[in-house]
Amino acid sequence: MMITKVILSKDAEEVYIYLNKEASKSKIERSILKAINMKKELIRANPHYGNPMARNLIPKEYVRKYGVTNLFRVELPNFWRMLYTLTNNGSEIEIIAFVLDIVDHKTYNKKLGYR
């Protein structure tokens, strides 16, 4: 049986911490945070849960920084997105879902070159 771990990158973790801080004051941040936690569980259950993205759309930043060869997108409330990649970390019994970014729609469009 394969085990799937969901790990946040430093960038994603910073956003996650921010959302945790703001959740008590803001309904929007609270809904985004709740959705992230729910989506992490769905990814644990099915690592291919997110929408796969074409290789030519993978931002060069992710390739340089993390060596990404695949990218999945999960939609969150308020047009936010969570982007993750899968790796087996050299193990046949473990899959790592590495969350690269949690971004708002404007940042997502910029990173992926959309207008």
Distance CA 44, CA 6 (A): 7
Sign of the alpha-carbon dihedral angle for 27, 102, 36, 17: negative
**Domain that includes residue 18, residue range:** 3-112
- The pLDDT tens digits along the chain (115 residues) read 678 899 999 999 999 999 999 999 999 999 999 999 999 999 999 999 999 999 999 999 999 999 999 999 999 999 999 999 998 766 666 788 999 999 999 999 998 888 7
pLDDT of residue 94: 73
The domain that holds 29 is classified in CATH as: 3.30.2310.20
What is the number of H-type helices and E-type strands within the chain? 4, 5
pLDDT for the residue numbered 38: 97
pLDDT at 91: 66
Q: What is the pLDDT of residue 89?
A: 67
Provide the domain count of the chain. 1
Q: How many CA atoms lie within 13 A of 59 on its CB side?
A: 19
